[in-house]
Amino acid sequence: MSSKEVLLEVKGLNVTFGKGKSKFEAIRDVSFEIYKGETFGLVGESGSGKTTIGRSIMRINEVTGGEILFRGRPINGNIPKEWDREITQKIQMIFQDPMASLNERAKVDYVISEGLLNTKKFGNDAERMEKVRNALLEVGLLPEFASRFPHEFSGGQRQRIGIARALVMEPEFIIADEPISALDVSIRAQVLNLLSNLQKQNNLTYLFIAHDLSIVRFITDRTAVIYEGEIVELAPTEKLFSNPIHPYTRALISAVPEPNPYKERAKKVEIYNPAQHNYEKDRPSFVEIEDGHFVHANKEEISRYRTMYKIGV
């Protein structure tokens, strides 16, 4: 269950890579809030900037402009040591490819407890081992697995180890970056169920990154759609699917395959053409077109969308 208590706030985030001619603005003026206890989806195609946002929150990426607040306090810049340590513990990330994110030469106990070792806060060896065993149990693995190597496990088990690695830190906020994309289709639902159960048990808040809208639909409370480094639409997830407004969101939704093959054939796929926006005189902003439903648009588009999609008319 989500409250309206803001846990994480991203305000006017800009991320630029490179300098001079090779300068590339990967994230442009991105703002959103994530409420405590909710699952917030971030959806967009490859290269749109989803991971860069996740990495900025993890403080792996340099932030060029704007700020990120956790529990109302900035996480970047010159911050007190104690606060820095707390953020390092409370914000964790689960990665797409469990193979790539796990050190193959390290045993599972080390893989899971590495973060604990770095924060010092978590006691002696025996206490750490106890935490590792508990984390393994929590993700549905045997405590004995602690003394094995990651390559001895299946993809799904490795992702569970990746989840245990985040969980052992006793986080409050988890960024799940395409956590099931690399997994066999047959085990995806299991891992999603695990994430959902862990959320309830541990009162976790999730930022769930995906390129696949159909996954986001079933597990997120609210969703933001990102296109080329900009959020084009943000709404409660059901609203986004029942009444998508931005042409890019509409194109994405129309591209989600229908489970019914007959319907799919009849379905018209919309194509998104960014040139359709005329922003030269009438500049766009991020407008709340109805309660909690934001769209990137200019004045002319807002009034057109209101009429087209029967909002407040």
Ligand X SMILES: Nc1ncnc2c1ncn2[C@@H]1O[C@H](COP(=O)(O)OP(=O)(O)OP(=O)(O)O)[C@@H](O)[C@H]1O
Interface residues with ligand X (CB under 6 A) are 17-18, 24, 26, 44, 46-52, 211
Helix extents (H) in the chain: 50-57, 81-90, 98-101, 108-119, 125-138, 155-167, 185-202, 213-219, 237-242, 247-254, 261-266, 299-308
Hey, what are 206's tokens? 């999730």
44 vs 150 by CB, closer to ligand X: 44
DSSP class of residue 144 equals G
Minimum Å distance from CB 42 to ligand X? 9
Closest CA to 96 of 224, 210, 187: 210
18 vs 257 by CB, closer to ligand X: 18
Minimum Å distance from CB 312 to ligand X? 33
Hey, what are 98's tokens? 């469990």
Minimum Å distance from CB 210 to ligand X? 9
39 vs 96 by CB, closer to ligand X: 96
Indicate the pairing of strand 6-17 with strand 65-70. antiparallel
Distant-in-sequence, close-in-space partners of 270: CB < 8 Å, separation ≥ 6: 247, 250, 251, 254, 255
27 vs 146 by CB, closer to ligand X: 27
Minimum Å distance from CB 286 to ligand X? 19
18 vs 72 by CB, closer to ligand X: 18
CA dist., res. 166 & res. 102, Å (int): 12
Minimum Å distance from CB 253 to ligand X? 18
- Beta bridge pairs of residue 56: none
Minimum Å distance from CB 207 to ligand X? 12
- 83-104 burial by CB neighbour count: b if 16+ within 10 A, else e? eeebbbbbbbbbbbbbeebbee
Minimum Å distance from CB 223 to ligand X? 15
225 vs 235 by CB, closer to ligand X: 225
- 22-48 burial by CB neighbour count: b if 16+ within 10 A, else e? eeebbbbbbebbbbbbbbbbbbbeeeb
211 vs 267 by CB, closer to ligand X: 211
CA dist., res. 138 & res. 128, Å (int): 15
Minimum Å distance from CB 133 to ligand X? 33
Distant-in-sequence, close-in-space partners of 115: CB < 8 Å, separation ≥ 6: 88, 89, 92, 165, 168, 169
Hey, what are 37's tokens? 């206890």
DSSP helix/strand/coil, 43:
strand
17 vs 286 by CB, closer to ligand X: 17
